[in-house]
Amino acid sequence: MKILVINPNTAELMRQQIDEGAKMYAGPGTEIVTICAASGPRSIEGEFDVALAAVGTLQTLIAHEKEFDGFVVACGQDPGLYACREVTSKPVIGIGEGSMYMACFLGHKFTSMTALWRMVPLMETIIRKYGLWDRCASVR
């Protein structure tokens, strides 16, 4: 199985860190390729950045869709996740959505944490979009 992990921002250091983590947890026989989005912000720190990152993420998936068996959007805000799912029949996982659902398997409620206060409303919106607001203890 060959999986493309898309870093929705354009920071090479972040791409390297994501790649190391993904390869550490990949199963035997799984090939991981991690690349930065074709375009977008250097860092995702608000709604504007998420919108820019969504376009680059989608362009990247489209450009590589035939080469891979599945895709990971490696950003907690999952920029472009639903749009990516519209353009391929292959699995597309967002680490924000995936981590929230995993947290629900592990406990009754979860907390979402962000480094920037201005990301709190965005995270609350995403949690509601995924239908998990009743399972969310807090966003900090």
Q: What is the pLDDT of residue 115?
A: 86
81-93 burial, b at 16+ Cβ within 10 Å, e below that, comes to beebbeeeebebb
Q: Which two tokens stand for residue 65?
A: 């869709």
Q: What is the pLDDT of residue 41?
A: 96
Q: What is the pLDDT of residue 65?
A: 97
DSSP three-state, residue 39? coil
Q: What is the pLDDT of residue 110?
A: 97
User: Is 57 in contact with 44 (CB distance < 8 Å)?
Assistant: no
Q: What is the pLDDT of residue 10?
A: 95
pLDDT, tens digit (0-9, with 9 covering 90-100), for 14-28: 999 999 999 999 999
Quote the pTM value.
0.94
**38-49 mean pLDDT:** 93
- Tell me: pLDDT of 101 over 90: yes
- Tell me: pLDDT of 131 over 90: yes
Residue-averaged pLDDT of the chain: 96
Cα–Cα distance, 126 to 114 (Å, whole number):
13
Q: What is the pLDDT of residue 53?
A: 97
Tell me which amino acid residue 91 is.
P
Percent of the chain with pLDDT over 70: 100
DSSP three-state, residue 123? helix
